[in-house]
Amino acid sequence: MSLMIQEIFHPAKKVSTGAYSAGLLIDGWLFVSGQGPVDLSTGGILRGSIEEETAATLNNIKKIVEEAGGRMEDIVKCTVHLSDIVDFDRYDVAYASFFSAVKPARTTVQSVLSDGIKIEIDAIAKIKAK
């Protein structure tokens, strides 16, 4: 028996950003690839403070989750890569503002990130059947 895999696209994406799917929906589970502070209509980096880059990154994730029929509250796990762990407290406040009730389980690590971005986040969500 093969899995039914549905590719989920970022609705504003107009440029290639690599050989990956923005999201894959499998049996109600949405796996969102690592997203960063990128304007997906141009491919340009949205440079700013850690708070601004966190918001831009989570807005990209939000659009993918919504495209799959979900909400931010459906996210159960995030993995976060910060270019500088010193930014943790400021990023944490910006991150928390995107989740109203129970926050997702989360791992946050310091990593070397491409193009000088400050943050990258991937997510897993459980999308309720329509």
Task: Assess contact for 70 and 128: CB atoms under 8 A.
Answer: yes
Report pLDDT digits (tens) over 15-61.
777 888 899 999 999 999 999 999 988 889 999 999 999 999 999 99
pTM for the whole structure: 0.94
Q: Residue 38: phi, psi to the nearest 5?
A: -120, 135
71/125 Cα distance (integer angstroms): 9
Is the separation of the CB atoms in 39 and 13 below 8 Å? no
State how far the Cα of 82 lies from the Cα of 110, in Å rounded to an integer.
5
Pinpoint the alpha helices (H) of the chain: 50-67, 88-96
